[in-house]
């Protein structure tokens, strides 16, 4: 069954909503916590009114290199936060990051609503990273004994920009902070990968900073569909598809690995046949041969985001229930969708655990063949790949632990503990390799579950049952 | 104005539904009709007051969970609920709604029409014991020969729940035409049964569902209590969920 057959069947399983009366209402994706304004408290000791307020630094984000909170699952969890703000100007309807930031900032600070965009202190970054240069010069054994960001840096795991916030907005064009950091990474020959929805990284200065980096640079450009009308409705402040496509072409031509990214994959919205065929042709012509995907996150189950989709005239429930809420259904839909691209010659990978055994690369960002330094081997995506490679044979935690240690070891003890919990289907199991198609528990030992890759797929079994 | 016990019961019912998470409602009252429209605009309930009940000369509307007292008045566009405990008097002021009662009345008129061409099925609340509340939708279909078929598909862990009516030796329900498959959101379906008050004369509340025929251009279901002696007789218009390729939200079509 190919994607189009499956899609036809799934629409018979998850229906669309109709309304008696269409009506737009304000979408409140951002759940701001109420804080009193101009609040003063009478201080008995000093006998006077004192203003009570906690202020956020609106000019600068005090960030530094950090390991992602998803390090237990992600092979590339080394982040560099450059820009930040209460709201991203691109205003993507499906983005839930605004919600998290607003909830956090408005709960603890009195001035977050006036903050605009702020950026890191590049001088601080550079000075601190200069001090870390010694770690890269260490022996392999010494590097393996490090922990945390020093270890990630020593192993030269590619740094990622744009994970928490879009780093290539108009403010960046004006101030060039991300550019400074790209140039610094070029100067120290450190690998970097950008996630962006902007075409700014294709401007000459940025291209040069990346193309001249001897440790290499890659750019993920999020392009969820070729349909400009849908792009305009779902990503109203972001550059058009045509502009991003042109950026993709320019980056590829300049020798930067430019990977189109379909994340989130939105069932029935970004998968119209003519749009997909156009997309495939366009990105091939733009020189891309690698593409990465993911399903919509469960985290997006938010009443404000839902209302935003409804206000745009889209049935959020249908898209979300089929494509994300049901992990197996979303996973197999994405897997079949990826095959459309694979059939045309693209190398395809995804962070969706269900599909990791069939990814074309171990590194789901599709840069495994591009960078030649370090990765985070101690994570569940890698566990899924490791077990899959030993198809038919039982794989114990000890085997995986040994393999991880051969490649540098876990980044921290906490991450190791978390990966071990996920290995044993404990903790936040959304990120466990238990979802990987064909991976089945086949026994227990003193470390917990023993896994085996079999020629089975619980997702296909589910499809058979419900159709 | 002070409302009667019957109207208060209808309002309270809407509030209870709202708080139960089934239907998140807005209440509209105009003349001798009370409407409850849910948050997603997929269900519209209409209660018609008896002739001896006091009419709403001044149309009012408010969100169900704002309801605070059976005494209220409209002041400068706000609904003010007034209550007291003998010693203190409390006023709760809340805004009205975006749609006017007149617009909702017209909306109802657009959908309410002759039911004679619609396949109809009686379902008692015993059916709720058999459905899985964790699944988002309930699919309905029916044939003249086979009667109604209710299906839920578990897209999370697999399996299909199929429910059919047990044929009674005394009464055999036949459909005038085939219908479906169409679906109702599980929460909406459950909420419909909680509207109907307990009837001591019957073993369980029963609702009559009037489904659209196949290829009919009216994608909504009309629901009424199966008997008419109820004090709180109501009509519900429920927008269908459809199994086609469309992701855009459209209005259920009407004649």
Q: In CATH, what number is assigned to the domain containing residue A255?
A: 3.80.30.30
Q: What predicted TM-score, i.e. pTM, was given to this entire model?
A: 0.93
The residue of A7, A8, A17 whose CB has the most chain B CBs within 10 angstroms, and thus the best one to mutate to test that interface, is A17
Which member of A19, A322, A325 has the closest CB to residue B42? A19
Same-domain check for residues B159 and B78: no
- Sheet strands side by side (includes A83-85): A60-61, A117-120, A83-85
Same-domain check for residues A344 and A404: no
Per-residue pLDDT, B232: 66
A159 in a structural domain: yes
- Is the per-residue pLDDT at B94 higher than 80? yes
* A28/A276: higher pLDDT: A276
Same-domain check for residues B33 and B106: yes
- Is the per-residue pLDDT at B203 higher than 70? no
- Is the per-residue pLDDT at B194 higher than 90? no
A243 in a structural domain: yes
Same-domain check for residues B132 and B224: yes
CB B9 within 8 A of CB B199: no
Interface contact flag, A466 B98, Cβ < 8 Å: no
Give the CATH number of the domain where residue B10 resides: 3.10.150
Question: What are the pLDDT digits (tens) for B208-253?
Answer: 999 998 877 778 999 999 875 556 689 999 999 999 999 999 888 7
Query: Which secondary-structure segment (H or E) carries A310?
Result: helix A303-311
Same-domain check for residues A148 and A240: yes
Same-domain check for residues B55 and B137: no
Number of residues written out for chain B: 255
* B4/A333: higher pLDDT: A333
Same-domain check for residues B100 and B147: no
- Is the per-residue pLDDT at A113 higher than 80? no
Name chain B contacts of A20, Cβ cutoff 8 Å: 37, 41-44, 107, 111, 220, 237, 239, 251-252
Per-residue pLDDT, B93: 94
Query: Which secondary-structure segment (H or E) carries A258?
Result: strand A257-265
User: Residues B30-54: what's their mean pLDDT?
Assistant: 91
Q: How far apart are CA A179 and CA A120, in angstroms?
A: 12
Q: How far apart are CA B99 and CA B80, in angstroms?
A: 18
User: Residues B99-114: what's their mean pLDDT?
Assistant: 90
- Is the per-residue pLDDT at A108 higher than 90? no
3-state SS, residue A38: coil
CB A84 within 8 A of CB A61: yes
Same-domain check for residues A68 and A171: yes
Mean of pLDDT over chain A: 94
Per-residue pLDDT, B216: 74
Question: What are the pLDDT digits (tens) for B122-168?
Answer: 999 999 999 999 999 999 999 998 899 999 999 999 999 999 998 77
Q: How far apart are CA A244 and CA A318, in angstroms?
A: 28
Same-domain check for residues A222 and A150: yes
Of residues B248, B111, B243, the one with CA closest to residue B179: B243
Angle at B207 between CA B201 and CA B213, to 5 degrees: 150
Give the range of the structural domain holding residue B146, as residue numbers without chain letter. 120-239
| Beta partners for residue A84, in sequence order | A118
B254 in a structural domain: no
A5 in a structural domain: no
CB atoms within 10 A of CB B253: 15
Question: What are the pLDDT digits (tens) for B179-188?
Answer: 989 999 999 9
Same-domain check for residues A225 and A314: yes
Interface contact flag, B158 A15, Cβ < 8 Å: no
Name chain A contacts of B220, Cβ cutoff 8 Å: 18, 20
Interface contact flag, B248 A315, Cβ < 8 Å: yes
Interface contact flag, A22 B41, Cβ < 8 Å: yes
Residue A124 backbone zone (phi > 0: left; psi -120 to 50: alpha; other: beta): alpha
Same-domain check for residues B165 and B126: yes
Mean of pLDDT over chain B: 87
Q: Give CA A108 to chain center in angstroms.
A: 26
Residue that is written with structure tokens 């503990």 in the block: A417
Residue that is written with structure tokens 């009345």 in the block: B105
Of residues B60, B4, B5, the one with CA closest to residue B30: B60
Exposure string of A268-292, with b = 16+ CB inside 10 Å and e = fewer, is bbbbbeebbeebbebbeebebebbb
User: Residues B24-40: what's their mean pLDDT?
Assistant: 91
Same-domain check for residues A346 and A389: no
Name chain A contacts of B155, Cβ cutoff 8 Å: 13-14, 321-322, 326, 328-329, 462, 466
Same-domain check for residues A291 and A411: no
Per-residue pLDDT, B252: 81
Q: How far apart are CA A402 and CA A262, in angstroms?
A: 34
CB A66 within 8 A of CB A415: no
Question: What are the pLDDT digits (tens) for A202-261?
Answer: 999 999 999 999 999 999 999 999 999 999 999 999 999 999 999 999 999 999 999 999
Which member of A317, A322, A462 has the closest CB to residue B158? A462
Q: Is A114 exposed, middle or buried (CB count within 10 Å of its CB: 0-12, 13-18, 19+)?
A: exposed
Same-domain check for residues B198 and B126: yes
Q: How far apart are CA A152 and CA B24, in angstroms?
A: 50
A259 in a structural domain: yes
CB A284 within 8 A of CB A276: no
Q: How far apart are CA B47 and CA B97, in angstroms?
A: 19
Q: How many domains does chain B have?
A: 2
Query: Which residues, at least 6 apart from A64, have a Cβ–Cβ distance to it below 8 Å?
Result: A120, A124, A125, A128, A149
- Is the per-residue pLDDT at B255 higher than 70? no
- Is the per-residue pLDDT at A31 higher than 60? no
Question: What are the pLDDT digits (tens) for A261-272?
Answer: 999 999 999 999
Same-domain check for residues A351 and A405: no
Evaluate the CA torsion angle A266, B187, B167, B206 in order and state its sign: negative
Q: How many domains does chain A have?
A: 2
Per-residue pLDDT, A78: 98
* A463/A31: higher pLDDT: A463
CB atoms within 10 A of CB B174: 9
Question: What are the pLDDT digits (tens) for A310-349?
Answer: 999 999 999 999 999 999 999 999 999 999 999 999 999 9
- Is the per-residue pLDDT at A292 higher than 90? yes
| Residue in chain B nearest A269 by alpha carbon | B247
A284 in a structural domain: yes
Q: How far apart are CA A143 and CA A154, in angstroms?
A: 6
Query: Which secondary-structure segment (H or E) carries A136?
Result: helix A133-136
Which member of A18, A19, A326 has the closest CB to residue B155? A326
Q: Strand A159-161 to strand A192-196: parallel, antiparallel, or no bridges (unpaired)?
A: parallel
CA distances, A409 to each of A53, A147, A148 (Å) = 45, 9, 11
Q: What is the DSSP string of A358-412?
A: G-SSSSTTS-TTT--S----SSHHHHHHHHHHTTTS-B-HHHHHHHHHHTT--S-
Which member of B155, B242, B249 has the closest CB to residue A310? B249
User: Residues A150-160: what's their mean pLDDT?
Assistant: 98
CB pairs under 8 A between A and B: 117
Same-domain check for residues B133 and B73: no
CB A101 within 8 A of CB A75: no
How is residue B205 written in tokens? 């509340």
Same-domain check for residues B148 and B100: no
A84 in a structural domain: yes
User: Residues A152-172: what's their mean pLDDT?
Assistant: 96
Q: Answer whether the bond into residue B181 is a cis peptide, omega within 30°.
A: yes
Interface contact flag, A21 B111, Cβ < 8 Å: no
**How far away is chain A from the Cα of B113, in angstroms, using its nearest Cα?**
14
- Is the per-residue pLDDT at B197 higher than 80? no
Give the range of the structural domain holding residue A413, as residue numbers without chain letter. 380-466
Per-residue pLDDT, B116: 81
| Beta partners for residue B63, in sequence order | B26
B246 in a structural domain: no
Per-residue pLDDT, A133: 97
Per-residue pLDDT, B80: 94
- Is the per-residue pLDDT at B119 higher than 90? yes
User: Residues A359-376: what's their mean pLDDT?
Assistant: 97
Q: ipTM strictly over 0.85?
A: yes
Percentage of residues in chain A having pLDDT higher than 90: 84
Interface contact flag, A466 B153, Cβ < 8 Å: yes
Same-domain check for residues A340 and A214: yes
Interface contact flag, A466 B160, Cβ < 8 Å: yes
Q: What is the DSSP string of chain B?
A: -B--HHHHHHHHHHHHHHHHTS--EEEEEEETEEEEEETTS-EEEEEE--TTSPPEEEEEEEEGGG---SBEEEETTEEEEEEE-SS-EEEEEEE--SS-HHHHHHHHHHH----TTS-EEEEEGGGGGTS-TTSSEEEEEEETTTEEEEEEE-TTT--EEEEEPPPPSS-----SS-EEEEEEEHHHHHHHHHHSPP-TTSSS-EEEEEPPBTT-S--EEEEEESSS--TT-EEEEEEPEE-SS--B-EEPP--
Name the interface residues of A facing B (CB cutoff 8 Å): 8, 11-23, 25, 267-269, 310, 313-315, 317-319, 321-322, 325-329, 461-462, 465-466
Same-domain check for residues B103 and B206: no
Q: How far apart are CA A312 and CA A18, in angstroms?
A: 14
Q: How far apart are CA B255 and CA B245, in angstroms?
A: 23
Read off the pLDDT band of B18 (50, 70, 90).
low
Query: Which residues, at least 6 apart from A7, have a Cβ–Cβ distance to it below 8 Å?
Result: A267, A268, A271, A333
Interface contact flag, B245 A268, Cβ < 8 Å: yes
How is residue A10 written in tokens? 């799934």
Q: How far apart are CA A334 and CA A295, in angstroms?
A: 7
How is residue A331 written in tokens? 């996973």
Same-domain check for residues A140 and A236: yes
A9 in a structural domain: no
Per-residue pLDDT, A34: 63
Residue that is written with structure tokens 């965009």 in the block: A117
**How far away is chain A from the Cα of B170, in angstroms, using its nearest Cα?**
35
Q: How far apart are CA A138 and CA A298, in angstroms?
A: 41
- Is the per-residue pLDDT at A30 higher than 60? no
Per-residue pLDDT, B231: 60
Name the interface residues of B facing A (CB cutoff 8 Å): 37, 40-44, 98-99, 107, 111, 136-137, 139, 153-160, 181-183, 185, 219-220, 237, 239-252
């Amino acid at each position: 069954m190919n994607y189009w057959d499956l899609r036809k069947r799934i629409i018979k399983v998850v229906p669309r909503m109709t309304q008696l009366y269409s009506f737009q209402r304000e979408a409140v994706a951002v759940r701001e916590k109420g804080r009193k304004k101009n609040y003063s408290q009478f201080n008995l000791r000093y006998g006077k009114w004192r203003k009570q307020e906690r202020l956020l630094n609106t000019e600068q984000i005090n960030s530094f290199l950090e390991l992602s909170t998803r390090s237990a699952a992600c092979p590339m969890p080394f982040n560099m936060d450059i820009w930040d703000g209460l709201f991203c100007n691109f205003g993507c309807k499906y983005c839930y990051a605004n919600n998290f930031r607003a909830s956090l900032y408005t709960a603890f600070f009195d001035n977050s609503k006036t903050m605009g965009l702020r950026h890191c202190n590049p001088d601080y970054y550079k000075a601190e990273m200069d001090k870390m240069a010694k770690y890269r010069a260490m022996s392999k054994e010494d590097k393996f004994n490090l922990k945390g960001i020093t270890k990630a840096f020593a192993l030269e795991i590619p740094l990622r920009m744009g994970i928490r916030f879009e780093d290539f907005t108009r403010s960046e064009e004006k101030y060039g902070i991300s550019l400074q950091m790209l140039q610094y990474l070029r100067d120290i020959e450190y690998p970097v990968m950008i996630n962006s929805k902007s075409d700014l990284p294709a401007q000459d200065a940025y291209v040069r900073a990346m193309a001249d980096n001897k440790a290499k640079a890659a750019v993920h450009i999020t392009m969820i569909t070729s349909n400009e009308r849908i792009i305009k409705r779902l990503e109203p402040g972001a550059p058009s598809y045509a502009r991003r496509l042109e950026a993709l072409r320019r980056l590829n031509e300049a020798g930067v690995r430019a990977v189109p990214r379909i994340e989130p994959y939105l069932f029935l919205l970004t998968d119209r046949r003519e749009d997909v065929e156009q997309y495939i042709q366009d990105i091939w012509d733009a020189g891309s041969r690698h593409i990465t995907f993911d399903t919509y996150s469960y985290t997006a189950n938010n009443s404000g985001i839902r209302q935003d989709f409804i206000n745009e005239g889209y049935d959020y429930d249908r898209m979300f229930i089929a494509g994300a809420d049901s992990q197996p259904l979303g996973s197999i839909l994405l897997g079949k969708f990826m095959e459309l691209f694979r059939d045309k010659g693209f190398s395809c990978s995804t962070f969706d655990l269900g599909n990791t055994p069939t990814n074309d690369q171990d590194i789901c960002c599709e840069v495994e063949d591009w960078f030649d330094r370090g990765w985070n081997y101690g994570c569940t995506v890698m566990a899924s790949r490791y077990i899959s490679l030993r198809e038919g044979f039982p794989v114990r935690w000890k085997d995986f632990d040994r393999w991880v240690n051969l490649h540098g070891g876990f980044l921290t003890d906490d991450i190791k503990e978390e990966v071990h919990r996920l290995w044993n289907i404990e903790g936040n199991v959304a990120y466990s390799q238990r979802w990987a198609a064909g991976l089945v528990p086949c026994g227990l030992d003193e470390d917990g579950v023993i896994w085996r890759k079999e020629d089975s797929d619980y997702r296909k079994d589910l499809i058979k049952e419900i159709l | 104005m002070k409302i009667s016990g019957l109207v208060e019961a209808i309002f309270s019912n809407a509030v209870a539904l709202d708080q139960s998470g089934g239907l998140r409602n807005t209440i509209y009252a105009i003349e001798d009709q009370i409407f409850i429209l849910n948050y997603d605009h997929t269900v519209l309930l209409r209660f018609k007051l008896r002739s001896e009940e006091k009419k709403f000369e001044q149309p009012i509307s408010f969100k169900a969970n704002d309801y605070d007292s059976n005494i209220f008045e409209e002041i400068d566009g706000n609904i003010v609920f007034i209550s007291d405990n003998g010693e203190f008097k409390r006023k709760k002021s809340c805004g009205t709604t975006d749609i006017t009662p007149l617009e909702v009345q017209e909306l109802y008129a657009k959908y309410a029409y002759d039911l004679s061409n619609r396949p109809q099925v009686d379902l008692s609340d015993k059916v709720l014991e058999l459905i899985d509340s964790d699944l988002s939708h309930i699919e309905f279909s029916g044939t003249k020969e086979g009667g109604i078929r209710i299906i839920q598909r578990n897209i999370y862990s697999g399996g299909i729940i199929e429910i059919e009516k047990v044929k009674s030796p005394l009464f055999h329900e036949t459909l005038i035409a085939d219908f479906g498959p169409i679906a109702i959101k599980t929460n909406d379906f459950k909420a419909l049964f909680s509207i109907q008050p307990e009837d001591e004369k019957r073993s369980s509340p029963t609702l009559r569902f009037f489904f659209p025929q196949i290829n009919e251009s009216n994608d909504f279901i009309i629901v009424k209590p199966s008997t008419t002696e109820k004090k709180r007789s109501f009509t519900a218009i429920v927008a269908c969920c459809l199994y086609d390729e469309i992701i855009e939200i459209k209005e259920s079509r009407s004649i």
